[in-house]
Structure 1
Amino acid sequence: MYNSAGGLDGCEILKLHDADPFFGVEVKFVDVVSCQQFLESYSSGAVRQSISQHACRLLALAQEFTVETQLKAGTHILDRCLDKLELCLQQIHQSPPGRLRDEEIDRLEERLRREVLGAPPPQQLIQQVPSNCFRFQNKVFEDRMLTAADVQSFANGVGRQWKHVGRTLGRECRALKDTAIDNLAYEYAREGLYEQAYQLLSRFIQAEGRAAKLSRLVRALEDCKLTGLAESILDIQPRE
């Protein structure tokens, strides 16, 4: 998978789905180039061949066996349009992954790295995360409810990206669908970006109640490439 996607930095595994006899892997690509490289490898059959070869090694089989694959982006089956690269990229772009990164994946990836590099596992990666906590940048934080200070920090730092974050939160919050976000933009246009962002997160908290957790905001900021703002809200000191 990694080699087909252009190296270790090409993609991130978010979730594994085991439903015998099927096995699903949910993947998020870091950029368009990596995604395009994977599509080309998949279309040529290189991905299927690689999976078969690795499976044979793991199962200690004398010869390769046939592997059937299906590539999907949301509800779209991409196998039907692999000859139309731009269409595939468009459908992937319009179907962002909606699942949390599987904690099992962290341990699996670290185990694979140890086998390849012979390196001891970092303690924080094998640490069990309590149910009332979440992990961010290999650190564990309490998954508390959002506070007024969080709302202010968000409104001060998000700028014009507040709509993007709102739509990301809206994947799991009906109160933040596109029409609601557009209404907020119109209603508070005169007050400016700070008030629009402030009202967005306030509405999220009002709608979700106790489920308006810090982890959901941090995840949305990560998805929107606003890691610096997430670090600020979590009071993580910048690296020197």
Structure 2
Amino acid sequence: MGDSSDVWVGSAYLFVQSTSENVLLPSLYGNPDRKPQVYKALKLAFADSTGRLNGVDMLKVHCSDPHLIVQLKFCNRENCRKFLQSYREGSLRDSLQRHLKVSLAMSSPLPVQMELKTGAGQLDSMLLEEERCVECISQEKPNRLRDEEIIKLEESLQNLSCQEVCSSIVSSAIQTPPVDSSLPPCSSVSSLSSLPQGDTFTFQGQQFANRKITLDDHQKFAKLVSKKWKQVGRSLQANCRALHDPTIDNLAMEYEREGLYEQAYQLLRRFIDSEGKRATIQRLIAALEDNGLLSLAELLLGIHPNETAV
């Protein structure tokens, strides 16, 4: 059978449970103030799993202590396979833990465990048989439309995004938010070996030594790139799998409360952590050139000693 997105449909139930003694997900989701934050974390984690913001639909979220039971709908075989791969490798779990930490403003990721089920039974025992899992999900047809509560959460999330993006632009113009000291240091600072001797590149007719991106580069970039951080990210994403869609849009949503500085900081951090030794100043300068940010490029290369606004 071909992968026809307009005819193929399937459903599954994801059981999510916090393994922390101090946190019950059903209690959090039952709290009107916390419910949108938990929903946002789920939505972003599912987007990470398929590489698309709407690759998986949530039809309803049930609270059944100690689980949140999320009824999922798939309208595309390929998205279903990507979801299963992410679930099997633990990427979905890690992503949800990370998004819950940010959405709920926690000091550390919230540990969770998951089970995936259909009417045919638990899928965890057959995850290595991907086509069998896809067939089980295909046989489980959705028995409902999207729940009214989910529709309201989607609307509130969209409204929140618009309001907070506007407010973050204003606040970032007034002050630079501090770097989150609870985050581990960037791999570019402490763990990467030096680049080969003699590795150079040309910028504005001058030769510069290629090197790893330093913490000082990282902070200056976040402070001065302003609203163009997304454009720079899209220039960097060509050869960086960690920045492929919808990662950049997800970062914008995930860190919208913190403002433009933190969004830009986390973008470059994702690039550095993913690319390792290949996260060089040459690649960053090229991305800045692509987007007309020459003064920031000059600053990072030490052409102008004094910081200036981009």
| TM-score scaled by length of structure 2 | 0.36
Q: Which has the higher contact order (CA 8 A, sep 6+)?
A: 2
